[in-house]
Amino acid sequence: MINIALYQPDIAQNTAAIIRICSCLGINLEIIKPCGYFFDKKKLDRIYLDYLENCNLKFYESYENFLENKKNMRLILLTTKSTKNYSTFSYYKNDTLIFGRESSGVPKIIHETIENKLTIPMKNNARSLNITSSVAIVASEALRQINL
C-alpha cells in the first residue's frame, strides 16, 4: 500500500482533510513530529469527524525515528524544487510519499538525502498548491499505477 508521510505539519485542518483522503482511499498516513498544533482527538473530533477511526495513522517522534522505520523502503519527496513530473514517475506498492510543512517544506538536509524528488507542474507564476490538493493528486496517480 502507498504511504503518505507529513513532515511536521503546520495546519490541523489540512491534516484533517488528508486523514479523510487516506481513510477513503485506504492509504497509510504517517505524521513526523513535532506538529505545528496540538494533536488531540477529543478536541479535534469536529475537524476529523469519524475518518480518524478509519485511517491507518502512525506517528514518528522525529525524522530520524521515521528513517529508522523506513530502511530498505523507497522515499519520494514532493517538492516545488524539482523538475521531475509526478505523473511520469513509476510508483510501487509500499512507496512513501513525503510532503513537507505548509509553511516551509522540508529542511535542505532532507532534500539532499532523498533521491526521488517529484513535482506537480504549475504555471510559472504559481507558488504552490495546497498540501491537501497535492496529496490527492499524487496519491491518485500512484494508486492508479499500482491498480488499487
Q: For residue 103, what is the domain's CATH number?
A: 3.40.1280.10
pLDDT in tens, 31-41: 999 988 876 66
Cα gap 73→131, rounded to integer Å: 23
Greater confidence (19 vs 148) lies with 19
Residue 38: the pLDDT is 73
78 strand-pairing partners = 99, 118
Q: Name the domain count of the chain.
A: 1
pLDDT in tens, 61-105: 999 999 999 999 999 999 999 999 999 999 999 999 999 999 999
> CA torsion sign, 111 to 112 to 118 to 121?
positive
Residue 36: the pLDDT is 81
Closest by Cα among 96, 107, 99, 102 to 135: 99
Angular region, 126: left φ>0, alpha ψ -120 to 50, beta rest: beta
Residue 9: the pLDDT is 95
Identify the domain containing residue 10 by its residue range. 3-145
Residue 148: the pLDDT is 64
pLDDT at 43 over 60: no
